[in-house]
Structure 1
Amino acid sequence: MKKLANVVAFSPNVTRLENDLRSQIANVMAQYPDLSAYGFHFSAGGEWDDLELYKCYRDMMLTSRFADEVLTCIEAIYAPRARWEARAWRLDLGGSYGLKHAVERWVREGNRDDLASYISNGAFIVAAVIEGWVPVRSQRSPNCRFAREGKR
């Protein structure tokens, strides 16, 4: 797992090192039992109806790699992003899938080898929830949009 000491500089909500982040990920998993590394579970036929595969996707949320993805998202959420405004970076306007791609672009454009270069949809959702955003589910989709705490 990458070094976590700098995370405190980005997020007031991640205050301890690795164990605290893992605890927060577990809390989000408990709060949203249908969330996996690839987003929310839904019934649409095909692989999304395979509960064993869904369980594997959910177990991926317990890995160090997933924790690195969540940390990368948290850092991106707090990064200066004047150039991002044109890309509709704001959480309250963007969907989880588009925003996970925005984080991946941010990593590439910043040449940040110390950050996760692949971000799963679920990692962005978990990071947003840790930072106080409420997922607003899309019907028949693993994706969601976000509202600030208390708004839907």
Structure 2
Amino acid sequence: MRKLMVVLAFICGIIAFFAYALYSNSWKTVQVVRSDIHSELYAKQEVAAAMDAVEQGFAQELKDARLTEISYNEQASSTYADSFKKQASDEVIVVFTNFITVFHLFPSEEQLLEPNTTYKGYPWVLRRSANQKAWEIIGSGYGYLYT
């Protein structure tokens, strides 16, 4: 009888372990929501190009996360933009993202972000010079804006 109880407890533990893993963020497929673009500084296509660059950079930089929303807030962007210009002719834009981090049963690397967590308003700073058409990501993260 005691053996049976141990086996049942073990099986219940395994089921609970896999149920948690199955319903964690790592299994969610998420469609990215883009907020409406309102800007007096940039054309919608320019802001959309910056958002595209962030989506590509996000996939490379934050592999253990799922992007849920991407937005541009001109007032917030303008607050930080000037401090990131190298030259007066540079243009700087800040795009904000919301995302969820995934849970890994066996993490392979050091995790910089808390697993299975939602992050909101995560900033991405992009810059382009006067002779450049494409936006280039120069930094990201909550601490990046305040350093």
On whether the aligned pair clears a TM of 0.5, the verdict is no
Higher helix share: 1
TM-score (norm 1): 0.30
Q: Look at both structures and tell me which one has the larger radius of gyration over its CA atoms.
A: 2
Higher strand share: 2
TM-score (norm 2): 0.31
Higher relative contact order (CA 8 A, sep 6+): 1
